[in-house]
Chains A and B, each alone.
Chain A
Amino acid sequence: MSKLKVENLDLYYGDFKALKDINIEVSEKEITAFIGPSGCGKSTLLKSLNRMNDLVEGCKITGTVTLDGEDIYKSMDINLLRKRVGMVFQKPNPFPMSIYDNIAFGPRTHGIRNKGKLDDIIEKSLRDAAIWDEVKDRLKKSALGLSGGQQQRLCIARALAVEPEVLLMDEPTSALDPISTSKIEDLAVKLKDDYTIIMVTHNMQQAARISDRTAFFLLGEVVEYNDTETLFSMPSDKRTEDYITGRFG
């Protein structure tokens, strides 16, 4: 059974129809990549999956999105949804607090106060995000003192700390250097064992390298959605072929 299922989703910004009749099923414990040129709606769809678009004024969504068969726009508590479907943003956005407090923010939000338990969660999250060794001696220092790549891994750790089931990553490497990028990619592949990951990326090689399935977006539509290998080797749509061979956008 699919983890996340999007059916007949339309999204409008005011009068502009940004997403047209989207149908996508995301399988559990896989990496699904959304690719496509700028402004094609891939980030917009991603944000609809944990209702971050609710904050945008003039944004109207129709259709259904289900998580484990449950409609996320109907009965589900929005804060609980965002706990289950975590998000990593394009630009690293650690809070201006200590590294420890950054990671602890999520668990504390969901009612964990016990110091020992928090310590455990923080160590586990930082280890899972492959940044523990770099920060273990400076947990009480400000997170803003870290490098960009470290900050992004910290943000991943912060998202992991609330034990989500799905992790949405919105171009998580676009602001980073190649070495940090490859670290995050390795991390994503490792995290796949425990989490369902959906990653928006500008970088086709990245999608080809790490994802299991890929969706190609163009002008608010899903042109093609298939196994990554098939999509990149034998695209069935002419537009997909043009895009992945670089003749386009």
Chain B
Amino acid sequence: MEAINKQRIKERIKGYLKNPWSLMILIFVILATLITFTALVLLVGYILIKGVPNLTLDLFSLHYTSENVSLFPALINTISMTFVSLIIAVPFGIFSAIYLVEYSKRGSRFVSIIRITAETLSGIPSIVYGLFGYLFFVTALKWRYSMLAGAFTLAIMILPLIMRTTEEALKSVPDSYREGSFGLGAGKLRTVFKVVLPTAIPGILAGVILSIGRIVGETAALIYTAGTIATVPKTIMDSGRTLSVHMYELSREGLFMNQAYATAVILLIIVLLINWVSGMVVKRLTKIK
């Protein structure tokens, strides 16, 4: 039997002919989707075609030489850079958001100034952060080109992002939870940390994930602060390059374009992995048991 609740194609065409605007919007929407999708496929396809054939075991040698052009040290540096930056930025970001949402008076001048500042900061090009990091951490504090200077610069860069997403996450926690907790005789501290914060965790994680994306993809701010040495640094006070910087250097020198593409493939895989893992984490945390 034919389903009666489906619009037949004839009917739909008739409807669209009656209303040309609706038809145009439909065409536009489909076109936009196609163009977006094609651009993405072309880009990823291009990188894969250029990069995958150049993925050799040599690229994963423990030490970089100009013969093996290993990306392995850069891979390690990327992970440690992400880790250190997050350790610095996440607590500050979350705690300042807690202050803004839970402790400050709603709608006060001070809060709106902080909010505008954070918004402005998140719109500043990363090269500006790089220059600041260079002048402050590298020169003024005499940390020289080091992982630490890089991590601090990136931490400042992602701080507004984490703060804003956490703020939104906290705001979306219904007030009835807070009332319920206060009504049982729980104080502010307990209410915030035992009821509000756990409820907001998926939203906070989304901000952290975005931040990881920015750290992994960052070059400009790091060239000025963490430097471009292609080895795993012995201490946090030594210079080291991340994958993005590595890729930038390879293509800038122009000698190892193939390896640069291979690095791009690895970078792509890492980003995909991060997205996948974080998606799983969020799902697990939000699942109603």
Q: Is B123 an interface residue (CB 8 A)?
A: no
Given contacts A89-B179, A144-B288, contact A95 B185 (CB under 8 A): no
C-alpha spacing A52/B180, complex, angstroms: 10
Counting residue pairs across A and B whose Cβ atoms lie within 8 Å, the total is: 69
Q: Is B20 an interface residue (CB 8 A)?
A: no
Which one of A82, A94, A109, A142 contacts B289 once the chains associate, using CB atoms below 8 Å?
A142
Q: Is A64 an interface residue (CB 8 A)?
A: no
A15 CB to closest chain B CB (Å) equals 18
C-alpha spacing A109/B192, complex, angstroms: 13
Q: Is A145 an interface residue (CB 8 A)?
A: yes
Counting chain A residues whose Cβ lies within 8 A of the other chain, the interface size class is 20 to 34
Interface string of B194-226 (1 = CB under 8 A from A): 110011000000000000000000000000000
Are A57 and B105 in contact (CB-based, < 8 A)? yes
Q: Which residues of B contact A140 (CB under 8 A)?
A: 289
C-alpha spacing A106/B199, complex, angstroms: 17
Given contacts A89-B176, A93-B174, A162-B184, contact A109 B195 (CB under 8 A): no
Interface residues of A in 86-119 (CB under 8 A from B): 86-87, 89, 91, 93-98, 105-106, 109-110
Beta-carbon nearest neighbor of B195 in chain A: A95
B169 CB to closest chain A CB (Å) equals 13
Q: Is B103 an interface residue (CB 8 A)?
A: no
Given contacts A80-B185, A109-B186, contact A145 B288 (CB under 8 A): yes
A92 CB to closest chain B CB (Å) equals 9
Which one of A109, A141, A144 contacts B185 once the chains associate, using CB atoms below 8 Å?
A109
Beta-carbon nearest neighbor of A90 in chain B: B176
B172 CB to closest chain A CB (Å) equals 12
Interface-central residue, A81, A93, A110, by most chain B CB under 10 Å:
A93
By a beta-carbon cutoff of 8 Å, the part of chain A in contact with chain B is 50, 52, 55, 57, 79-83, 86-87, 89, 91, 93-98, 105-106, 109-110, 140-142, 144-145, 155, 158-159, 162
By a beta-carbon cutoff of 8 Å, the part of chain B in contact with chain A is 105-106, 174, 176-177, 179-187, 190, 194-195, 198-199, 288-289
